[in-house]
A and B are shown apart, each in its own frame.
Chain A
Amino acid sequence: MVHTLRRNPETKTERERERERERTMGSRLGSRVVYFANIPIKLLMPTSFTNITEIALKTIPSASKIEIKRVLESLYGFEVEKVRTLNMDGKKKKRGGLLIAKPDYKKAYVTLKNPLSISPDLYPIRIIEEDKRQMNKQPKSSMVEEGEVKRHWLDGKESQRFKPEKGSGNRAESGAKFPWSSMRPAR
């Protein structure tokens, strides 16, 4: 920064010229301006479609909170209140000696100042929703058969229930049913 005392009118003009040059060339202040931002931002599926106050993104781990906030505000026009980030490792599989790794990513939760809503008619959302609904329906239909409730193999065996006993007094009568009836249950 230029905090020197004013001495001669010649140096003053020189300093002004330097300041002019800095303003136009932007060597010190301009180094903070990024001209070609290259941050990939992948939006995760929002939880609901109306009144969205928080959205989740995935980016590269070297993107900082401030960068993400700046890019969202200037490029997309989001009104960002705050950004919370966390670094996640990609899933890694080890097959014999070979390690198959997915890239590490950074998750960002962005709170918006005003809630937004989005229509599910935009391209991939409808398909994904239908797919999710199908997936959720299938396991329910396979478990319930003709109105039967879930059965357990111990349900009809109330009569054969034995009490845990330290002594072997009941061995004779319960030994008739099962050889192991006098044993204490494992749990």
Chain B
Amino acid sequence: MFISRYLGRTLLAAAKSETSAAAAAASSSSRTVYNPLEEFFEADRSPDEEKPIVYGRSWKASELRLKSWDDLNKLWYVLLKEKNMLMTQRQMLHAQNLRFPNPERIPKVRKSMCRIKHVLTERAIEDPDPRRSAEMKRMINAL
């Protein structure tokens, strides 16, 4: 399970330090309690509207081109979980006719995922071996 969160919480540089610190802290407690249902809800967010919620910007294509294939794979799933969480939140709030705050976060996540696929397709096109590039394209575009 990756602990690195998407750019919504920390930027690129700080993310690495956070993952190492979080890994050290969470390794002791993660084995005792881990409720997978909690992944559909936002962590550390109080129900009162005390302060404005800080969230980051989406990933840029230039930043994504620096990452390796495994990194992008992991980032894809982090983004997918974030998107599921936001959509769950939106659906639950709309069911009670409450307002969903900051709806612009979902398109940011969606566009970051789109950029990941774009970067991977670019790499697949440049591959000299046509069979491997076709396979890569099939892998990238399969659901």
Shortest distance between the CB of A23 and any CB in chain B (Å): 14
Q: Is there a chain A Cβ closer than 8 Å to B1's Cβ?
A: yes
Residues 83-134 (chain B) with a chain A CB within 8 angstroms = 83-84, 87-89, 91-93, 95-96, 98, 113, 117, 132
Beyond A36-B139, A40-B83, A118-B35, is A77–B1 a contact (Cβ under 8 Å)? yes
- B73 contacts A35, CB within 8 Å? yes
Using a CB–CB cutoff of 8 Å, the interface residues on chain B facing chain A are 1, 34-43, 45, 47, 73, 76-77, 80-81, 83-84, 87-89, 91-93, 95-96, 98, 113, 117, 132, 135, 138-140, 142-143
Chain B residues with Cβ below 8 Å from A123 are 41-42, 45, 47, 89
Q: Is there a chain B Cβ closer than 8 Å to A122's Cβ?
A: yes
- B92 contacts A45, CB within 8 Å? yes
- B84 contacts A41, CB within 8 Å? yes
- B47 contacts A55, CB within 8 Å? no
Shortest distance between the CB of A170 and any CB in chain B (Å): 56
Q: Within the assembled complex, what's the spacing in Å between the Cα atoms of A31 and B40?
A: 29
Q: Say whether chain B's binding surface is mostly helix, strand, loop, or mixed.
A: helix
Chain A residues with Cβ below 8 Å from B138 are 31
Provide 8 A-B residue pairs closer than 8 Å at the C-beta atoms, listed in order of the A residue.
Answer: A31-B138, A42-B88, A55-B37, A77-B1, A78-B36, A122-B43, A123-B45, A124-B41
Q: A3-25 toward B: CB 8 Å interface, digit per residue (1/0)?
A: 00000000000000000000001
Chain B residues with Cβ below 8 Å from A118 are 35, 37-38
Shortest distance between the CB of B18 and any CB in chain A (Å): 20
Q: Within the assembled complex, what's the spacing in Å between the Cα atoms of A62 and B132?
A: 28
- A34 contacts B93, CB within 8 Å? no
Beyond A36-B142, A76-B36, A123-B41, is A128–B93 a contact (Cβ under 8 Å)? yes
